Amino acid sequence: MTEEFDYVIVGAGTAGCVLANRLSADGKTRVLLLEAGGSDQIVWIQLPIGYGRTFFDRQINWMYDTQPVPGLGGRESYWPRGKVIGGSGSINAMVHVRGQPHDFEDWAALGNQGWGWDDVLPYFVKAEDHDLGEGRYHGAGGPQHVTEISAKAHPLSRTFIETGKALGLPFAADLNSPNGEGVGIYQINTRHGRRASTANEYLRPALRKGGVTLRTKSHATRILFEGTRATGIAYQRGGKTFEARATREVILSGGSINSPQLLSLSGIGDAAVLKPLGIDVLVDAKAVGRNLQDHLAISYFYKTRVPTLNDELRPLWGKIKAGLHYAWNRGGPLSMSVNQGGGFVRSGPDAPRVNLQLYFSPVSYTQTPLSERKLLNPDPFSAFLLSFNSCRPTSRGHLQITSADPFEYPSIQPNYLSTQLDIDEAIAGNRMLRSIANTAPLSDIITEELVPGAHLQGDEALLEDFRNRADTVYHPSCTCMMGPDPATSVVDARLRVHGVQGLRVVDASVFPTITSGNINAPTVMVAEKGAAMILEDRASHALI
């Protein structure tokens, strides 16, 4: 069976939901949105603190594993990615971070005209319905709500901020302002105590208007072409194969793993990889799946003499109290992420710009393996955690398909810690966490460093600990990177795939370099800007 639409979008994740809304807004345009996963109407998705239960649920999670990583002592890294309406925005920690202005200035400097800070800021603003209200740097009335939790954050988050200030770190009242350097409280994507994913904020209003057809449990297997023009998508649903034709454009929004995988399966990729798998090469695009970047973090755990969120959520009576609070007014700890305090700081006075992201969570999990950690079952004692990651790591990894079977997972090699800069920043970050923990007022409440433990001293020992324990912050990006040169990039500055027509990629895979911080908000921005460019080209009758 073949159906026809104006646009066919692959992936109802963070970007795909935005695109479906914006492209169908005129009430006339027909959009098909294909999603390999199923419904996001699950309590552990919609309840903000419930995301800990989604990391190992194969019903809503691709559950990837990387290849052994040399920089991590040969360990594999587990990569949860959303296989559900809303994509990874349905299983993430909801932290709303734009990144630093220089991130986008770097994008433009790489030859991507129209992607500097002043170019992208209007799209960040357009997306927002922000608690801070409308202003030069924030928006009100946009689709996605941004919640300011400063007044609701755990009191220890303030202790963390005061400690940062005592160390000489700036205080950032708004970590999403252009001058957001310093320590502060993170903003999060919730609305009335419920997850404000793009599925809830963009897609559902579009579905109610009727311009969008959503197909779940629909796994895209191949892009259809007539010559070098993309004309549709072949997909499997319920064991049957279907085709959907696009009269205008095909748009890939599968994310940094699935988008390059689908390009490769469709003959757009490195010929040296595709030919041995029996895939006919349409475009020898060596950059597909290359340039992979991700944030790598480690946590230090501290036992305290004062109550933490552990004391509220561990006992049965605490769970009941938190549940009643949430049921009464959608408030309390169940309505928030556990990532509350944090910030963007320089590792030292010689650092030319922000290079470390900090996290402070008034909760800890040291007595259970990662696969068993539930955010409602923390340690049975008072404790918190401090974490950091390098903002702009320079290590580049890759992924590539190993089979022509679209249901086989690709091989993923993140190449963490493969540059000296990343190693140096790992050492600097370890020092920063220890400095914070050893500074009052935080040091006044700490009774013990649980992990890695005070016995571990010196840069060499702490770097070895970093290699043994550090892991992804779930921010894979750059695998279909944007750039002017088809030899080194996959899409141009209008997100059009080099070498073909009628095909774009709009998701985090097009980032030329990873941004400084959580990547959900920049992905929304890319989708907003991508939708605007698609509509501009349509209005001008430009052929892509």
Q: How many CA atoms lie within 13 A of 84 on its CB side?
A: 29
Listed in sequence order, the residues at least 6 apart from 516 whose beta carbon sits closer than 8 Å to its beta carbon are: 99, 100, 103, 344, 354, 357, 391, 392
3-class secondary structure, 367: coil
**From the CB of residue 158, how many other CB atoms can be counted at a distance below 10 Å?**
15
Burial 275-304 (b: 16+ CB within 10 A, else e): eeeebeebbbbbbbbbbbbbbbbbbbbbbb
398's enclosing H/E stretch is: strand 398-400
Q: Would you mind telling me the total number of residues written for the chain in this entry?
A: 544
The answer to whether 221 and 36 are in contact (CB under 8 A) is: no
Of the residues 138, 145, 475, 498, which is catalytic? 475
Q: How far apart are CA 525 and CA 114, in angstroms?
A: 13
Q: Please state, in angstroms and as integers, the Cα–Cα distance from residue 500 to each residue in 103, 276, 495, 544, following that order.
A: 29, 22, 12, 8
Q: How far apart are CA 294 and CA 390, in angstroms?
A: 10
Tell which residue, 198, 86, 95, has the closest CA to residue 149: 95
Tell which residue, 144, 36, 21, 43, has the closest CA to residue 82: 36
What is the β-pairing status of strands 128-130 and 190-191?
unpaired
Greatest Cα pair distance in the chain: 69
Q: How far apart are CA 493 and CA 486, in angstroms?
A: 12
The answer to whether 484 and 111 are in contact (CB under 8 A) is: yes
Q: How far apart are CA 160 and CA 183, in angstroms?
A: 8
- Please state the φ and ψ torsions of residue 103, each to the nearest 5 degrees: -55, -45
Q: How far apart are CA 242 and CA 378, in angstroms?
A: 46
The answer to whether 242 and 213 are in contact (CB under 8 A) is: no
The answer to whether 207 and 477 are in contact (CB under 8 A) is: no
Q: How far apart are CA 109 and CA 111, in angstroms?
A: 5
SS3 content of the chain, % helix, strand, coil (to 5): 30, 25, 45
Query: Quick one: tokens of 515?
Result: 């941004």
Catalytic site residue 475? yes
Query: Which sequence positions are flagged as catalytic?
Result: 475
